[in-house]
């Protein structure tokens, strides 16, 4: 069995304690302890271990509320039930406010009463135990509070970083490295310059502030005759971005170059974003010139030249190299073929790996290769292979004759012992070969002089001293120093940048020491002061006389500038995309992210994610098909856009975007991917929608406005609302549109009207409210109050006029002036004291006021009104007056005390109305002397208080004794076996029940009319009065009734009557019917009804089968405010009660 509930019951009636214990402990789950006072309970050891406390309210020494406070202070939240016969509302509120769990009123059948009390105990204890369990669970939950707080702080920090990021974004325009021009599109003037960012001032070297407000050609005359103004305007009108490069030449030399992107940030505007690419353009031009020189060299060279890309596919070759291939081979047929296809696979140069090693290390290699051809026999080639950019350059020289000469020389040496004639012959051949070799070397020198760089050969002796043995003639051209081999090393090193001298010397020393190929890039200053970049490359050859390095020194300044420009451009592009004020994302042709602006990340809720390299389709798997199709079309080369696109995001919310997707291209015009521009226009769409709604509302407001409204432009009517049409006595608005304004104004006001028209047009002045005379279309004059103001209507300057007909008001004002004299006579002779109060002083008082205060009127006006108020009431009267003048809703009628002649107390009743006196707020006050009435009321209230106290105490004591009596009686009936005695006990119980009902009637009837009537909403009253046993429907929505506070008792008694006596009633319905000015509230059920001969009797006191007071009280409660009730139902079809409410006691739309 679960733990038994230990309850402590406190009451000053010992018999009631005993009865309650007997009834409650009939259930084995309860143990009841008792105490006869709150003080005894607080001292009892049982209170600390009890599960619930039941207490009476009215007890000597300490009442139930004080006991409740003591329990809460000392024992915390032990369940506490107030079980009392005092049913006043203030007692209930006080109990609940101080922490009572339940409030239960004594009375009724003891068995049901104590069963309900046991249920409340059980419910309160169960709730307390559940709360304890929840508290324990809550303590476990709060264990993770610190972790949650940490997560929250991280989230807050993230939000702070987002805000900081957004703040940085707002400064992008000001800090952007790109120059930006902004234009507004004027329908007449065209593009008008609106401003520029600081970068534009810096790049162009001008102050743009002086150009604001000028057209594009006025601001930049140099653009006249170009396509740029037309292109810019096209972007502003269509919204399609445009990109171009602008190059400015002076005498054939590039003076300036700019990469320009033009886009429309908003309708009617245009922005041009440009970057200075002068350096890049010059580098490109220099590179083109260098490539032309290289082409000229290759075409004129007697040696073979070929160039290969990073994959060792053929890019270009000269005619000599082509001659090495089979006859009939065309260059265009072999361009793009791989080097491996031309290699034999034999010897030092026959393997492709040899060439890949050169590309990897960048170290040039030279050597001699034997080439056998069927047509020409054996050919010897001198091969030099070196890296060119990311690719490879191969230069070959036909050294067959040199090889033959060397062979013959070797043969001559071998046969030196031969005859002198033969030796002389061989010597002659040798001399001839040497001559051929000299000619070959001369040809090589000429070729070296045509190479873009400086060809050289240096000799390193065993002591590692370097001596240049050959310098091509281009040394002065490339480096600005003499090409004389003697001292070239010292001259060259002297011009090398100081930071590069030590690394250059170290690289040469290491290469020579290990006999390795050498390569180095560094900075060099020509004697003219011009700084350049150089690249040196050489290969070693070991000869008997020492180590030789043959190589080339190249000017790579253009390449370095181009590389730096490319890096800078890529970085600017990345920063531009990242910092752009619009949402931009760049994708490759597999739709993988390359870059995205912060705006894009924010709009797509991706700010906290790393998306670089990830697929767009992976991040957004549920993209609509039409977007996917747009991406596919863009990857195929098409530009696709949407000005208004509705998108439902992952959370289900609707967003609106404008977007454009276009391809971007690699070198060679192949599509590398797409760029997606988008802008979230959800807020703009919402604003447009609100604007449309506002326009509709404004037009609707004007159409239904009780004030006449007209708009005129250039002296003619362009708009009138229906009220204006009616006042001007026209059949329809169309008959007034287009007509002159002045004919509608009385001729006496024409000159004044023309002056006001001029002031509104020239000065924008508003014409304040004034009176004029207008003329209707039939010529009938009428007086109006009119106000006018200059506005823009349909985009053009116009005049708004609002006026109303005050003809009748003017007549009333005249009648009012006539009646004022009559009213003054009435006030002067009134029996009530009347005064006007303004700015804390009485500014008027009638003779009765002087009589009431015993002071002449002249003396009254010399004092503040508060001077005549009884000192104890001054704060109260001052507060009422101050709040009323501040506009608060305070009572206009109330009582207070004043000082009568000779310092006596005077009670007055004041009625106050707010008025305007001489254009200032004031109050009109009526005073009635109620001193005698107050004395009578005080005496009556004291007598009533004593009678009510006696009535309350008597009822309370009798009720407790009756509960005890009935409790013992009912308990005795359960124990008694003798039917006769049980019958007597039943009669005793019935009598006690009757007495209890009469006591309850006494209580109810005593409260009748005690509190003032008020307004009550029937929805609330009916809802509270409904009983569980019989469903009820309320059809009187929004109806208020002025009645006694016991109105809820009326409906409860009617519902209870239907439940008790309707027998088979299943529903009761409340509805309202209007009959003229009266309201009929119908309460009807579907029970057996009421016989015709009882329809009036049922409202008599004591008639009925229960207490006999229910319907009697209903009629008494309603009659307090003049409401009547009658029964009009048909016997056998249900009861129907009609409650007739006078017009002044009901209203619609609530209480």
Distance, in Å, from the CA atom of 328 to the CA atom of 729, rounded to the nearest integer, reads 104
DSSP string, 827-886: HHT-SSEEEEEETTEEEEE-HHHHHHHTS-HHHHTTSBGGGGB-GGGHHHHHHHHHHHHT
Residue 796: domain span: 705-806
Question: Do 1019 and 1068 have their domain in common?
Answer: yes
Structure-model confidence comparison of residues 826 and 636, the more confident one:
636
β partners of residue 534: 522, 555
Has residue 42 got a pLDDT over 80?
Answer: yes
Select from 160, 175, 199, 259 the least CA-distant residue to 580. 175
- Strand order, beta sheet including 1136-1141: 1032-1034, 1068-1075, 1078-1085, 1136-1141, 1124-1127
Distance, in Å, from the CA atom of 370 to the CA atom of 1014, rounded to the nearest integer, reads 124
Select from 128, 57, 120 the least CA-distant residue to 94. 57
Question: Do 389 and 537 have their domain in common?
Answer: yes
Asked, for residue 680, whether it belongs to a domain, the answer is yes
Query: According to the model, what pLDDT value does residue 437 have?
Result: 46
Six-digit token string for 548: 């030789």
**Please, what sign has the CA dihedral across residues 335, 340, 346, 351?**
positive
Last residue of a domain, one of 142, 168, 200: 142
Confidence of residue 856 (pLDDT cuts 50, 70, 90): confident
Q: Residue holding tokens 């995001």?
A: 649
What is the distance, to the nearest Å, from the Cα of residue 331 to the centroid of all Cα atoms in its chain?
66
Structure-model confidence comparison of residues 727 and 425, the more confident one:
727
CATH classification at residue 1095? 3.30.565.10
Question: Do 758 and 649 have their domain in common?
Answer: no
Select from 33, 324, 275, 323 the least CA-distant residue to 177. 275
Helix (H, G, I), strand (E, B) or coil at 196: strand
Structure-model confidence comparison of residues 453 and 1130, the more confident one:
1130
CATH classification at residue 86? 3.40.50.2300
Distance, in Å, from the CA atom of 623 to the CA atom of 103, rounded to the nearest integer, reads 61
Is beta strand 80-84 parallel, antiparallel or unpaired with respect to 102-105?
parallel
Is beta strand 841-845 parallel, antiparallel or unpaired with respect to 833-838?
antiparallel
Contact 350, 343 (CB under 8 A): yes
Asked, for residue 889, whether it belongs to a domain, the answer is yes
Mean predicted confidence (pLDDT) in 850-864 = 82
* DSSP element (H, E) containing 963: helix 931-975
Question: Do 668 and 754 have their domain in common?
Answer: no
The predicted model scores a pTM of 0.28
Question: Do 22 and 92 have their domain in common?
Answer: yes
Residues in contact with 1085: Cβ distance below 8 Å, sequence separation at least 6, in sequence order: 1030, 1058, 1062, 1065, 1067, 1068, 1069, 1134, 1135
Select from 22, 12, 5 the least CA-distant residue to 969. 22
| Cα dist from 56 to 32, 59, 103, 267, 1007, whole Å | 15, 7, 10, 79, 22
Contact 1079, 1151 (CB under 8 A): no
Query: According to the model, what pLDDT value does residue 952 have?
Result: 53
Helix axes 14-24, 931-975, angle to 10 degrees: 50
Helix (H, G, I), strand (E, B) or coil at 550: strand
Question: What value does the mean pLDDT of the chain take?
Answer: 80
Confidence of residue 524 (pLDDT cuts 50, 70, 90): very high
Contact 524, 479 (CB under 8 A): yes
Confidence of residue 440 (pLDDT cuts 50, 70, 90): very low
Six-digit token string for 426: 């061989």
Structure-model confidence comparison of residues 822 and 229, the more confident one:
229
How do residues 367-394 score in pLDDT, each as one tens digit? 776 665 544 556 677 788 888 777 888 8
Confidence of residue 503 (pLDDT cuts 50, 70, 90): very high
Query: According to the model, what pLDDT value does residue 252 have?
Result: 59
> In terms of residues, how long is the chain?
1151
Last residue of a domain, one of 907, 929, 951: 929
Has residue 212 got a pLDDT over 90?
Answer: no
Structure-model confidence comparison of residues 229 and 978, the more confident one:
229
Alpha helix (H) residue ranges in 142-176: 145-170, 172-175
Confidence of residue 605 (pLDDT cuts 50, 70, 90): confident
Least confident window among 318-322, 331-335, 757-761, 772-776? 318-322
Last residue of a domain, one of 929, 955, 978: 929
Residues in contact with 1086: Cβ distance below 8 Å, sequence separation at least 6, in sequence order: 1062, 1064, 1065, 1066, 1067, 1133, 1134
Confidence of residue 435 (pLDDT cuts 50, 70, 90): low
Mean predicted confidence (pLDDT) in 251-279 = 78
Mean predicted confidence (pLDDT) in 405-410 = 65
Structure-model confidence comparison of residues 683 and 719, the more confident one:
719
Asked, for residue 336, whether it belongs to a domain, the answer is no
Contact 4, 31 (CB under 8 A): yes
Distance, in Å, from the CA atom of 232 to the CA atom of 461, rounded to the nearest integer, reads 69
Question: How many CB atoms within 10 Å of residue 569?
Answer: 14
Question: Do 855 and 880 have their domain in common?
Answer: yes
Asked, for residue 332, whether it belongs to a domain, the answer is no
Six-digit token string for 1127: 């029964």
Structure-model confidence comparison of residues 3 and 634, the more confident one:
634
| Cα dist from 976 to 645, 699, 984, 991, whole Å | 89, 87, 11, 19
Question: Do 132 and 16 have their domain in common?
Answer: yes
Contact 33, 46 (CB under 8 A): yes
Question: Do 724 and 843 have their domain in common?
Answer: no
Mean predicted confidence (pLDDT) in 511-532 = 91
Asked, for residue 81, whether it belongs to a domain, the answer is yes
Residues in contact with 849: Cβ distance below 8 Å, sequence separation at least 6, in sequence order: 833, 834, 835, 857, 860, 927
Residues in contact with 878: Cβ distance below 8 Å, sequence separation at least 6, in sequence order: 866
Asked, for residue 653, whether it belongs to a domain, the answer is yes
What is the distance, to the nearest Å, from the Cα of residue 778 to the centroid of all Cα atoms in its chain?
57
Mean predicted confidence (pLDDT) in 144-154 = 56
How do residues 49-64 score in pLDDT, each as one tens digit? 899 999 988 888 899 8
Query: According to the model, what pLDDT value does residue 417 have?
Result: 47
Contact 456, 552 (CB under 8 A): yes
Domain tally, the chain:
7
Distance, in Å, from the CA atom of 519 to the CA atom of 506, rounded to the nearest integer, reads 12
Asked, for residue 161, whether it belongs to a domain, the answer is no
Q: Torsion-angle region of residue 480: left (phi > 0), alpha (psi -120 to 50) or beta? A: left
Question: Do 27 and 63 have their domain in common?
Answer: yes
Query: According to the model, what pLDDT value does residue 463 have?
Result: 62
Asked, for residue 987, whether it belongs to a domain, the answer is yes
Mean predicted confidence (pLDDT) in 849-866 = 83
How do residues 160-190 score in pLDDT, each as one tens digit? 654 554 454 445 566 566 778 888 988 888 8
Residues in contact with 1: Cβ distance below 8 Å, sequence separation at least 6, in sequence order: 28, 29
Query: According to the model, what pLDDT value does residue 115 have?
Result: 85
Query: What does residue 907 show for φ and ψ, rounded to 5 degrees?
Result: -90, 135
Query: According to the model, what pLDDT value does residue 1062 have?
Result: 80
Confidence of residue 702 (pLDDT cuts 50, 70, 90): confident
Question: Do 264 and 291 have their domain in common?
Answer: no
1027 DSSP assignment? B
Query: According to the model, what pLDDT value does residue 1106 have?
Result: 60
Structure-model confidence comparison of residues 288 and 1017, the more confident one:
1017
Query: According to the model, what pLDDT value does residue 421 have?
Result: 56
Has residue 147 got a pLDDT over 70?
Answer: no
CATH classification at residue 790? 3.30.450.20
Question: How many CB atoms within 10 Å of residue 801?
Answer: 22
- Strand order, beta sheet including 796-805: 716-720, 708-713, 796-805, 781-793, 767-775
Least confident window among 102-116, 782-796, 1055-1069? 102-116
Is beta strand 767-775 parallel, antiparallel or unpaired with respect to 716-720?
unpaired
Question: Do 1140 and 1045 have their domain in common?
Answer: yes
Question: Do 776 and 842 have their domain in common?
Answer: no
Widest CA span of the chain, in angstroms?
Answer: 180
Contact 467, 459 (CB under 8 A): yes
Query: According to the model, what pLDDT value does residue 10 have?
Result: 93
β partners of residue 271: 182, 263
Radius of gyration of the chain (CA): 56
């Amino acid at each position: 069995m679960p733990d038994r509930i230990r309850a402590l019951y406190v009451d000053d009636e010992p018999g009631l304690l005993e009865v309650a214990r007997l009834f409650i402990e009939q259930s084995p789950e309860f143990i009841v302890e008792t105490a006869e006072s709150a003080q005894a309970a607080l001292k009892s050891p049982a209170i600390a271990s009890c599960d619930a406390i039941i207490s009476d309210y009215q007890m000597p020494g300490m009442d139930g509320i004080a006991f409740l406070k003591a329990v809460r202070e000392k024992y915390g939240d032990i369940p506490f039930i107030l079980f009392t016969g005092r049913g006043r509302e203030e007692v209930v509120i006080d109990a609940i406010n101080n922490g009572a769990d339940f409030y239960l009123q004594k009375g009724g059948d003891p068995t049901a009463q104590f069963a309900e009390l046991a249920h409340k105990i059980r419910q309160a204890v169960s709730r307390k135990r559940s709360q304890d369990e929840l508290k324990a669970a809550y303590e476990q939950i709060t264990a993770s509070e610190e972790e949650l707080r940490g997560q929250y702080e991280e989230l807050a920090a993230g939000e702070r970083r987002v805000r900081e990021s957004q703040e940085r974004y707002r400064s992008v325009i000001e800090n952007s490295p790109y120059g930006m021009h902004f234009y507004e599109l004027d329908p007449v003037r065209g593009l008008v310059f609106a401003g520029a960012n600081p970068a534009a001032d810096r790049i162009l070297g001008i102050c743009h502030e002086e150009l604001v407000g000028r057209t594009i050609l006025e601001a930049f005359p140099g653009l006249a005759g170009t396509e740029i103004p037309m292109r810019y305007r096209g972007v502003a009108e269509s919204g399609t971005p445009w990109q171009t490069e602008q190059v400015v030449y002076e005498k054939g030399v590039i003076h300036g170059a700019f990469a320009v992107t033009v886009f429309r940030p908003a309708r009617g505007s245009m922005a041009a974003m440009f970057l200075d690419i002068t350096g890049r353009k010059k580098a490109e031009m220099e590179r083109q010139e260098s490539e032309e020189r290289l082409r000229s060299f290759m075409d004129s060279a007697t040696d073979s030249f070929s160039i290969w890309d990073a994959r060792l596919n053929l890019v270009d070759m000269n005619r000599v190299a082509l001659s090495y291939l089979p006859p009939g081979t065309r260059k265009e047929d072999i361009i793009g073929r791989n080097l491996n296809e031309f290699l034999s696979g034999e010897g030092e140069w026959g393997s492709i790996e040899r060439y890949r090693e050169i590309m990897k290390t960048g170290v040039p290699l030279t050597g001699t290769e034997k080439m056998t051809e069927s047509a020409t026999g054996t050919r010897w080639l001198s091969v030099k292979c070196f890296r060119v950019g990311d690719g490879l350059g191969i230069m070959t020289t036909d050294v067959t004759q040199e090889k033959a000469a060397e062979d013959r020389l070797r043969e001559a040496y071998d046969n030196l012992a031969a005859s002198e004639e033969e030796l002389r012959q061989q010597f002659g051949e040798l001399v001839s070969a040497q001559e051929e070799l000299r000619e070959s070397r001369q040809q090589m020198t000429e070729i070296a002089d045509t190479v873009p760089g400086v060809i050289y050969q240096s000799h390193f002796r065993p002591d590692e001293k370097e001596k240049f043995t050959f310098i091509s003639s281009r040394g002065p051209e490339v480096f600005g120093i003499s090409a004389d081999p003697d001292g070239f090393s010292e001259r060259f090193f002297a011009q090398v940048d100081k930071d590069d001298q030590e690394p250059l010397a170290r690289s040469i020393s290491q290469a020579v020491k290990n006999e390795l190929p050498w390569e180095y890039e560094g900075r060099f200053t020509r004697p003219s002061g011009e700084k350049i970049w150089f690249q040196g490359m050489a290969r070693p050859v070991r000869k008997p006389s020492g180590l030789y390095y043959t190589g080339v020194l190249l000017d790579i300044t253009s390449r370095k500038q181009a590389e730096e420009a490319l890096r800078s451009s890529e970085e600017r592009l990345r920063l531009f995309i990242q910092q752009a004020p619009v949402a931009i994302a760049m994708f490759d042709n597999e739709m993988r992210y390359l870059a995205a602006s912060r705006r894009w990340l924010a709009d797509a809720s991706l700010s906290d994610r790393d998306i670089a390299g990830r697929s767009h389709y992976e991040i957004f798997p549920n993209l609509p098909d039409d977007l996917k199709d747009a991406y596919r079309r863009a990857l195929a080369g098409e530009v696709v856009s949407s000005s208004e696109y509705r998108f439902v995001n992952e959370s289900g919310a609707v967003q609106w975007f404008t977007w454009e997707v276009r391809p971007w291209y690699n070198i060679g015009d192949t599509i590398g991917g797409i760029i997606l521009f988008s802008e979230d226009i959800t807020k703009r769409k919402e604003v447009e929608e609100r604007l449309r709604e506002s326009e509709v509302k404004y037009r609707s407001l004007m159409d239904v406005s009780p004030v006449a409204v007209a708009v005129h432009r250039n002296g003619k009517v362009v708009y009138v609302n229906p009220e204006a049409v009616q006042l001007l006595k026209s059949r329809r608005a169309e008959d007034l549109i287009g007509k002159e304004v002045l004919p509608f104004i009385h001729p006496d006001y024409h000159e004044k009207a023309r002056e006001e028209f001029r002031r509104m047009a020239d000065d924008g002045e508003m014409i304040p409210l004034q009176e004029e005379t207008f003329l209707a279309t039939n010529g009938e004059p009428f007086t109006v109050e009119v106000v006018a103001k200059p506005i823009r209507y349909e985009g053009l300057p116009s005049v708004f006029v609002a006026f109303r007909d005050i003809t009748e008001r003017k007549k009333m004002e005249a009648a009012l002036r006539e009646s004022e004299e009559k009213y003054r006579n009435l006030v002067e002779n009134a029996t009530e004291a009347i005064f006007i109060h303004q700015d804390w002083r009485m500014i008027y008082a009638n003779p009765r006021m002087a009589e009431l205060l015993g002071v002449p009127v002249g003396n009254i006006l010399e004092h503040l009104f508060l001077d005549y108020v009884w000192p104890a009431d001054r704060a109260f009267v001052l507060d009422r007056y101050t709040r009323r003048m501040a506009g608060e809703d305070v009572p206009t009628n109330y009582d207070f005390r004043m000082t009568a002649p000779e310092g006596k107390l005077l009670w007055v009743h004041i009625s106050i109305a707010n008025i305007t006196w001489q254009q200032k707020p004031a109050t009109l006050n009526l005073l009635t002397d109620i001193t005698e009435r107050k004395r009578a009321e005080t005496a009556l209230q004291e007598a009533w208080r004593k009678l009510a106290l006696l009535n309350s105490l008597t009822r309370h004591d009798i009720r407790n004794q009756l509960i005890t009596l009935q409790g013992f009686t009912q308990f005795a009936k359960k124990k008694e076996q003798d039917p006769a005695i049980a019958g007597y006990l039943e009669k005793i119980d019935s009598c006690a029940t009757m007495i209890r009902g009469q006591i309850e009637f006494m209580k109810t009837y005593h409260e009748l009319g005690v509190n003032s009537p008020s307004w009550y909403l029937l929805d609330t009253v009916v809802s509270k009065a409904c009983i569980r046993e019989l469903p009820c429907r309320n059809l009187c929505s929004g109806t208020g009734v002025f009645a006694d506070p016991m109105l809820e008792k009326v409906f409860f008694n009617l519902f209870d009557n239907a439940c008790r006596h309707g027998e088979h009633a299943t529903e009761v319905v409340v509805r309202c019917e209007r009959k003229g000015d009266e309201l009929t509230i119908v309460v009807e059920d579907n029970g057996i009804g009421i016989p015709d001969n009882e329809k009036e009797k049922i409202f008599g006191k004591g008639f009925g089968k229960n207490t006999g007071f229910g319907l009697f009280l209903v009629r008494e409660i309603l009659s307090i405010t003049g409401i009547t009730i009658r029964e009009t139902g048909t016997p056998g079809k249900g009861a129907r009660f009609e409650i007739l409410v006078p017009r002044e006691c009901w209203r619609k739309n609530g209480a």
